[in-house]
Amino acid sequence: MTDVRRWGMGPVKVEGMTADELLALPEKDLDEILFCNQPIVFRIGSAEVLAEFRRTEDTFSLDLAHIDGGGEGALPAIARMAESYARARGLTKLEWLVRATACARPNPRLRPVLERMGFEVKSLPERGECYYRLVQLRDSV
């Protein structure tokens, strides 16, 4: 089960769907949503997220530009869904770029959470400065 539960209140939902329902969409449909070559806005729990997703031969890349609201586990829910997605597609790496700490109204709790999760501030060529983390997935399908 992929769903992330929030304090006994049931799963954190993405646009009204549980993580399992979202990941059960036909591969083509989900990929059309994620890889539209432009940022997308989606609601996860009470958070509204502006993100762009990319995929290479072995890497699923998440670029989180803005996170408004939340607090009930949106970031862990995104992490679990991203890992499930990557494993199901046989990808071996998750690349995280989080710029939401530099948006117009950043959540002051986000930086400490990212740092506890092992993110580091990096300046990437052609992508700029962000909190960055590259996760090697083990036992990918």
- Could you read off the pLDDT of 75-98 as tens digits, one per residue? 888 999 999 999 999 999 999 999
Alpha helices by DSSP H, 1-141: 19-23, 27-34, 74-88, 110-116
For residue 7, name the pLDDT band (cuts at 50, 70, 90): very low
DSSP state of 18: -
Q: Is 90 left (phi over 0), alpha (psi -120 to 50) or beta?
A: left
DSSP state of 14: B
Whether 12 and 47 have beta carbons less than 8 Å apart is answered as: no
Neighbours of 9 (CB within 10 A): 10
What's the rounded mean pLDDT across residues 11-40?
89
Q: What is the mean pLDDT of the chain?
A: 86
Single pTM value for the model: 0.84
Residue 5 within a domain: no
pLDDT at residue 101 in the model? 84
Q: How far apart are CA 34 and CA 60, in angstroms?
A: 11
What's the rounded mean pLDDT across residues 54-61?
96
pLDDT at residue 28 in the model? 95
For residue 24, name the pLDDT band (cuts at 50, 70, 90): very high
Residue 38 within a domain: yes
Q: Which of 6, 14, 10, 36 is nearest to 84 (CA)?
A: 14
Q: How far apart are CA 57 and CA 26, in angstroms?
A: 20
Give the tokens for residue 52: 């762009």
Instruction: Find residue 138's DSSP bridge partners.
Output: none
pLDDT at residue 8 in the model? 43
CATH of the domain at 59: 3.40.630
Give the tokens for residue 132: 């960055």
pLDDT at residue 3 in the model? 46
Residue 13: what residue type? K
Q: How many domains does the chain contain in total?
A: 1
pLDDT at residue 46 in the model? 85
Residue 7 within a domain: no
Query: What is the residue range of 117's domain?
Result: 19-136
Residue 26 within a domain: yes
